[in-house]
């Protein structure tokens, strides 16, 4: 899909045709739309191909009058047949030309959708540098939002830590840990790209945009710190889960051992009285064997249960 937007009278508007100062948003493009980007708009073919590569890492590159900025964006997806969420990152390509700003991605981006819907204030497509910084600011806010969601999920799981563990909880916790690894790696790569932009070599920076540029760098650094902290918390919870599982297993084994010992006592008593000999006491009647079994079983059960409650 290709949509064209422009700021008119302070509000973002969708346009029918592209004109200088427009923002061209492209996601889930068809082969014809990809051809239109390279032929009609004259975008570099390598730049477009890089934007649509899921494995592309965050970087910045310049070719002629076109500047390519690739950053990773946070994505959350609810898994089918489950109440859990999967968090991962998807690259977003931003191409700055002399007339337009292009954003290209394989999937629809919630950050760009919010900007296109006018939910983000003070969006100016005419000022391309400021627009790019605003996109980067919203991307960092998206990371922070999903990091807080991960923290809420982990806190909820922490409250359910006691008691028997389910496979679903363990799998979800492992998924959160993996997601935080992806987030941390992507945020650090994005931060390197932000630092390159701050040097002003690949993208022309204006004095009025210095504060926004500083805010973008601060937001990404805070996001990196949050991801690192949450990753440590999840790792600690994984260790705690392993201790809980081991403790629960020990409790089950203790119960089984007590049951086995108690059940074995009647077998031993009746096995003795089943021997063909006259030397055993109280052999004249089976009642005595039953009474001895009940007494010994009660004593052993009392001793074992008194040592440890279960």
Residue 190 confidence (pLDDT): 93
For 122, left (φ over 0), alpha (ψ -120 to 50), or beta?
left
Nearest partner of 52 among 106, 1, 101, judged by Cα = 106
Strand, helix or coil at 117?
A: coil
Adjacent-strand bridge partners of 90: 73
Adjacent-strand bridge partners of 100: 22
CA atoms within 13 A on the CB side of 52: 15
Residue 277 confidence (pLDDT): 64
Decide the pairing of beta strands 11-15 and 100-105: unpaired
Strand, helix or coil at 101?
A: strand
Nearest partner of 44 among 56, 54, 34, 32, judged by Cα = 34
pTM of the model: 0.77
What's the CA gap between 60 and 69, in Å, rounded? Answer: 4
Q: Residues of the chain with pLDDT > 90: what percent?
A: 33
For tokens 């009285």, the residue is: 273
What's the CA gap between 129 and 31, in Å, rounded? Answer: 29
Residue 204 confidence (pLDDT): 80
Residue 188 confidence (pLDDT): 93
For tokens 């981006």, the residue is: 109
Strand order in the sheet with 66-78: 11-15, 2-8, 22-27, 100-105, 85-96, 66-78, 59-63
Residue 83 confidence (pLDDT): 66
Adjacent-strand bridge partners of 62: 67
Q: Residues of the chain with pLDDT > 70: what percent?
A: 90
CA atoms within 13 A on the CB side of 6: 13
Adjacent-strand bridge partners of 76: 87
Adjacent-strand bridge partners of 78: 85
| Domains within the chain, CATH numbers bracketed | 2-247 (3.30.460.20), 248-307 (no CATH)
Residue 64 confidence (pLDDT): 84
Q: Does residue 70 register a pLDDT over 90?
A: yes
Contact 70, 83 (CB under 8 A): no
What's the CA gap between 81 and 277, in Å, rounded? Answer: 66
Over residues 200-215, the pLDDT tens digits come to 777 788 888 888 889 9
What's the CA gap between 211 and 232, in Å, rounded? Answer: 32
Over residues 235-278, the pLDDT tens digits come to 888 787 777 777 777 878 888 888 888 888 888 777 777 666 66
142's enclosing H/E stretch is helix 128-159
Band (pLDDT 50/70/90 cuts) for residue 166 is low
Query: In this predicted structure, which of 122-131, 218-227, 283-292 has the lowest mean pLDDT?
Result: 283-292
């Amino acid at each position: 899909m290709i949509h064209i937007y422009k700021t008119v009278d302070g509000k973002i508007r969708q346009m029918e045709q592209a004109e200088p100062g427009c923002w061209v948003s492209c996601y889930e493009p068809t082969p014809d739309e990809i051809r239109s980007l390279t032929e009609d708009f004259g975008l570099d073919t390598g730049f477009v191909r890089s934007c649509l590569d899921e494995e592309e890492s965050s970087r910045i590159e310049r070719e002629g009058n076109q500047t390519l900025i690739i950053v990773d964006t946070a994505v959350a997806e609810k898994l089918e047949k489950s109440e859990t969420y999967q968090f991962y990152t998807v690259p977003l390509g931003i191409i700055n030309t002399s007339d337009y700003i292009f954003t290209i991605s394989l999937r629809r981006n919630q950050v760009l959708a919010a900007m296109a819907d006018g939910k983000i204030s003070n969006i100016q497509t005419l000022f391309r540098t400021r627009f790019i910084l605003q996109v980067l600011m919203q991307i960092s806010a998206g990371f922070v939002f999903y990091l807080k969601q991960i923290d809420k999920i982990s806190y909820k799981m922490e409250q359910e830590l006691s008691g028997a563990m389910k496979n679903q909880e363990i799998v979800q916790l492992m998924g959160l840990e993996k997601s935080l690894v992806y987030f941390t790696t992507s945020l650090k790569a994005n931060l390197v790209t932000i630092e390159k932009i701050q040097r002003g070599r690949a993208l022309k920076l204006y004095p009025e945009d210095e504060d926004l540029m500083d805010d973008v760098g601060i937001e990404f650094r805070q996001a990196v710190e949050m991801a690192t902290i949450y990753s440590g918390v999840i790792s600690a919870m994984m260790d705690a889960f392993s201790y809980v599982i081991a403790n629960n297993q020990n409790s089950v084994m203790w119960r089984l051992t007590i049951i086995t010992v108690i059940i074995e006592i009647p077998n031993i008593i009746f096995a003795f009285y089943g021997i063909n000999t006259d030397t055993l006491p109280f052999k004249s009647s089976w009642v005595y064997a039953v009474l001895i079994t009940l007494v010994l079983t009660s004593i052993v059960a009392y001793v074992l249960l008194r040592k440890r409650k279960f």
